[in-house]
């Protein structure tokens, strides 16, 4: 960690601690009468262990056995989600209490009222966590049609029966976050779903592996990926999380060994029909000190008016640059569409498009909400998804 980051980290830790103290204090006010002084001390101790569990396990790293680390990370990640919704409900209740101070109402048993309100809040948060867990594990399939090829149709071979078709089915998957929380079982389910969809090509739009490549290796996830065999190949770009763990080159090596071509500020012709480009993630410059290659340079020698360009860029922040370069279709991920309600309202304002399909003239941006999760293994603001894009004339 850079020394300049220490004050910011200390401030964020202080805010995190203060917010959790507020939650804990409200918990004591609701349920403290059920515990004696000794019970309260034990409750506070256990509470703070849970509060700092996620950060502590992440700092310990590989010093813990993998199965233990995974369970502790899961527990700590669930607390992060629970904290969000406990704060929302408790702040709402306190606002109601402030408003009620101006209303001449009295309660004969305020302790009993706090207890029942506390039970209601705990029940609601548990319900949200259960729903969010189920939702995160049940992705849907989303379909889009994009006018991509120039008339007359640029024909592509299916490689299945040798026939010629004037449309192409491209599967898009982003933000799997394979690692401690999203493991091999989820990957097997994804691979089975993709094989059932039978696309001509598969694109992975970044954040495939969540920082550390060790779980990918230990669980032999490369063998699972190798079950994919789309006729026109599987391709990927890197996301910001591939840069965070310091295993970037190992990640690229293992993905390519699994049959997934990783494109890093480069492009290639697909069946002489269109040009597929993959960009380094925007995080690369900040974390490696090396700026990514300008898109104009990557497309040097490519006439985008006659050769349609399909661009993979993990973060949908440089859509205007892609438009100016004549890109016909850009596919991205990264946003998770907020993942947890109400954070989707924030991602809506950070990007030109945080989810779905944005068309401007004959140019299109498609942003996926992602397949996996980061941090809490739940989704409450949207559904995870696999996107099927049909490219037509």
- DSSP string spanning 194-245? HHHH--SEEEEES--B-S-SHHHHHTTHHHHHTT---TT-EEEE--HHHHHT
Alpha carbon distance 282, 55 (integer Å): 26
- Whole-structure pTM value: 0.90
**Same-domain status, 99 and 158:** no
Backbone angles phi and psi of 365, in degrees to 5: -115, 130
pLDDT at position 97 is: 86
Last residue of a domain, one of 133, 160, 176: 133
- Which residues of the chain fall below pLDDT 50? 153-164
Tell me how crowded residue 390 is: count the other CB atoms within 10 A of its CB: 15
**Same-domain status, 162 and 18:** no
| 208: Cα within 13 Å, side-chain hemisphere | 30
Q: Are 136 and 379 in contact (CB under 8 A)?
A: yes
Give 11's DSSP letter. Answer: H
Average pLDDT over the chain reads 91
Burial of residue 127 (number of CB atoms within 10 Å: 0-12, 13-18, 19+): exposed
Residue 86 Cα to chain centre, angstroms? 23
Alpha carbon distance 125, 123 (integer Å): 6
Structural domains counted in the chain:
2
Q: What is the pLDDT of residues 333-363, one digit of tens each?
A: 999 999 999 999 999 999 989 999 999 999 9
Q: Mind giving me the DSSP string for 144-184?
A: EEEE-SPSSP--EE-SSSS-EES-EEEEEE----BTTTB-H
Burial of residue 87 (number of CB atoms within 10 Å: 0-12, 13-18, 19+): middle
Cβ partners under 8 Å of residue 23, min gap 6? 83, 86, 87, 90
Alpha carbon distance 203, 176 (integer Å): 12
Q: Residue 237 belongs to a domain with what CATH number?
A: 3.60.21.10
**Same-domain status, 290 and 331:** yes
- What radius of gyration do the chain's Cα atoms show? 24
**Same-domain status, 156 and 275:** yes
pLDDT at position 277 is: 98
pLDDT at position 9 is: 87
**Same-domain status, 124 and 149:** no
**Same-domain status, 320 and 336:** yes
**Same-domain status, 266 and 304:** yes
**Same-domain status, 252 and 332:** yes
pLDDT at position 155 is: 46
pLDDT at position 65 is: 81
Going by C-alpha positions, the residue among 182, 160, 178, 181 that lies closest to residue 169 is: 160
The token pair at 279 is 């960009």
pLDDT at position 103 is: 75
The token pair at 272 is 């002489």
Tell me how crowded residue 68 is: count the other CB atoms within 10 A of its CB: 10
Last residue of a domain, one of 115, 133, 151: 133
The token pair at 175 is 């933000």
Last residue of a domain, one of 133, 153, 173: 133
The four Cα atoms 9, 12, 14, 16 give a dihedral, to 10 degrees, of -130
The token pair at 376 is 């809490």
Alpha carbon distance 173, 188 (integer Å): 14
Q: Which residue carries 């997934």 as its tokens?
A: 260
What is the extent of the structural domain holding 343? Answer: 140-392
**Same-domain status, 154 and 128:** no
**Same-domain status, 241 and 284:** yes
**Same-domain status, 102 and 242:** no
**Same-domain status, 164 and 120:** no
3-state SS assignment for residue 141 = strand
């Amino acid at each position: 960690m850079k020394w300049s980051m220490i004050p910011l980290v200390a401030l964020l830790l202080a805010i995190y601690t203060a917010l959790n103290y507020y939650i804990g204090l409200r918990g004591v006010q609701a349920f403290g009468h059920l515990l004696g002084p000794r019970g309260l001390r034990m409750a506070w101790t256990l509470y703070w262990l849970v509060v700092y569990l996620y950060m502590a396990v992440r700092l310990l790293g590989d010093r813990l056995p993998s199965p233990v680390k995974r369970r502790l990370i899961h527990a700590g990640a669930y607390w992060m989600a629970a904290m969000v919704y406990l704060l929302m409900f408790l702040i709402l209740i306190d606002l109601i209490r402030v408003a009620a101070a101006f209303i001449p109402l009295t309660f004969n048993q305020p302790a009993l009222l706090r207890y029942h309100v506390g039970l209601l809040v705990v029940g609601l948060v548990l319900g949200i966590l259960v729903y969010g867990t189920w939702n995160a594990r049940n992705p849907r399939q989303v379909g889009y049609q994009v006018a991509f090829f120039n008339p007359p149709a640029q024909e592509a071979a299916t490689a299945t029966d040798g026939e010629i078709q004037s449309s192409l089915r491209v599967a898009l998957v982003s933000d799997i976050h394979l690692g401690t929380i999203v493991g091999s079982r989820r990957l097997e389910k994804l691979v089975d779903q993709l094989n059932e969809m039978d696309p001509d090509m598969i694109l992975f739009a970044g954040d495939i592996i969540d920082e550390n490549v060790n779980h990918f290796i230990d669980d032999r996830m490369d063998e699972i990926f190798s079950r994919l065999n789309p006729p026109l190949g599987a391709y990927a770009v890197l996301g910001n999380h591939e840069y965070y763990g310091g295993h970037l080159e190992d990640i690229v090596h293992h993905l390519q060994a699994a049959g997934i071509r990783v494109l890093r500020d480069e492009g290639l012709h697909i069946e002489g029909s269109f040009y597929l480009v993959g960009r380094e993630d925007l995080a690369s410059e900040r974390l490696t000190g090396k700026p990514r290659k300008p898109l104009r340079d990557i497309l040097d020698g490519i006439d985008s008016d006659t050769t349609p360009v399909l661009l993979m860029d993990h973060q949908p922040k440089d859509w205007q640059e892609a438009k100016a370069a004549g890109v016909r279709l850009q596919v991205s991920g990264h946003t998770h569409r907020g993942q947890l309600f109400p954070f989707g309202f924030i991602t809506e304002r950070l990007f030109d498009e945080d989810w779905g399909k944005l068309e401007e003239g004959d140019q299109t941006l498609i942003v996926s909400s992602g397949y996996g999760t980061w941090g809490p293994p739940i989704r409450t603001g949207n559904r995870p998804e696999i996107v099927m894009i049909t490219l037509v004339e």
